[in-house]
Chain A
Amino acid sequence: MSFDIGLIWSRMPDILGGFGLTLVIWLVGCLAGIALGFLVAVLRRNVAGLNIPLAAWMEVTRGTPFLIQLFLLYFGGPFIGLSLEPITAGLLGFTLYGAAYFSEIFRAGFAAVPRGHIEAGECLGLSQGQIMRRIIVPEMAVLVLPALVNMIVLLLKETAVLSIITVPELTMMISAIGSENFVFVESLFLLALFYWAMVEIAGWLGRQAEVKLASFRPAT
């Protein structure tokens, strides 16, 4: 088994394109997923009628494989008038999948904000909106940070699944190059190393962010 550096070099634009798409889907999907997950957690907490339907939706997303969700969206979508390009379907599916996990993290975070802090805010005459914005959200943000970082890193690996619905991200590009040139195993090794490095770097960056933000951790 040998790596042909020339081959890798000549296909560099494809590899970088796939890598770029993986990064974009991961970052955009995580940001959108965090926003949506936060919204879901807030709605479940504050709007009584929405708690049960949203909880059911989250349970279904968290209890079924990501691949089945993608198939449902990509192959089932056209039957209900939702024909999406692979990239759009992939990004949408990835965002919805991530949002379910993020909302659960935020829900736990909301529950962990000490009751006394909220009561103190009420005693000082802050409105519910102010309590949310100035007490609950900042405290929760620091509490959920480790779980959030963990989830973001886990989701990086989930982007590989998008190759199955032909999203031209890193896994699809590199395995395509491998099978065209009969170096499938070598290309998969390269791919594994690529992801391993990305996950280690993302984990390291996350830990740096945690250390930086730990100084804001509320004393409980």
Chain B
Amino acid sequence: MTWQLFQLLVTAAGLTVFISAVSIMIALVLGTIVSVVTLSPKPAFALAGRTYISFFRGVPLLVQLLLIYNLLPVMGIDLPGIVAAIIGLSLCTAAFQAENLRGAFASLPRGLVEAAEMAGFSAAQILRRVRVPIAFRLALPALANEAIFTLRASSLVSVVGVVELTRTAQDLASSTFLPLQLFAAAGLLYLLLSWTIAALGHVMERRMRWGRV
């Protein structure tokens, strides 16, 4: 394998980073909303949230990606593969992040919420200023872990025609007959990216260590 081939893989890894980063961000926002909806006192809301989590965690990501990629044109929405890929990856990751956050919301110290109530915070203020920030901190290790899963799962978007790291390795492997070297190199790049996310997670954990809950 030449240096040139490796550089092609590194360039393609840029797209993998982009797709994963955007999906991780969207999934954090969407996952927070879904977990709050799931914990709603209104049974219909809670059921909708639970169904979302159950469906997107229960169906293989590959099937979800194929479904979204093929469903959108049928519905008259014509989007490039990369958008379908980000939508699919975000919806699925959001379900896992919602489940992680649900556990964190459930283990919030009751006293903190009561203190905020006593201080005259409205329900919305308590959610924004007390429950969400603390739940995020409690769930941080699980959230970071899921982000690493998202990075690895992003290799599946290669099946909907997005030429990211896995697809590039595949294309190069079939044209150069060097599958061993190319897939090993791609694996190495994924490993480095996984470690980067893990390191970022640790940095955030350290920075968010204000006070004790």
Contact = CB atoms under 8 A, between A and B. Distances in A.
Interface of A: 1, 59-60, 63-69, 71-72, 75-76, 79-80, 157-161, 163-164, 171, 175, 184-185, 188-189, 191-192, 195-196, 199-200
B54 interface: yes
B179 A75 contact: yes
Nearest to A59: B191
A60 B159 CA distance: 23
Given A60-B187, A185-B70, 5 more contacts: A67-B156, A68-B186, A76-B183, A195-B58, A196-B54
B156 A64 contact: no
A64 to B, nearest CB: 4
Closest A-B pairs by Cβ, 8 of them: A65-B155, A160-B60, A76-B180, A75-B179, A199-B58, A157-B60, A196-B58, A64-B187
A135 B188 CA distance: 40
Contacts of B156: 65, 67, 161
Given A161-B156, A192-B59, A65 B70 contact: no
Interface stretch (B34-42, B61-69, B112-120, B200-208): B61-69
Contacts of A1: 74
B54 to A, nearest CB: 7
B153 interface: yes
B29 interface: no
B63 A171 contact: yes
Interface of B: 54-55, 57-64, 66-67, 70-71, 74, 148, 152-156, 158-159, 166, 169-170, 173, 179-180, 183-184, 186-187, 190-191, 194-195
A76 B166 contact: no
Interface of A is mostly: helix
Nearest to B156: A67
A160 B183 contact: no
A71 B170 contact: yes
A133 to B, nearest CB: 33
A132 B182 CA distance: 43
Contact of A68 (B55, B70, B183, B195): B183
26 contacts: A1-B74, A63-B152, A63-B190, A63-B194, A65-B153, A65-B190, A66-B152, A68-B169, A71-B170, A71-B179, A71-B183, A72-B183, A72-B184, A76-B179, A79-B179, A160-B63, A161-B60, A161-B62, A171-B62, A185-B67, A188-B66, A188-B71, A192-B55, A192-B63, A195-B60, A199-B58
A86 to B, nearest CB: 15
A69 B63 contact: no
A164 B66 CA distance: 12
B74 A72 contact: no
B166 A157 contact: no
A189 to B, nearest CB: 7
A184 B152 contact: no
A57 to B, nearest CB: 12
Nearest to B71: A185
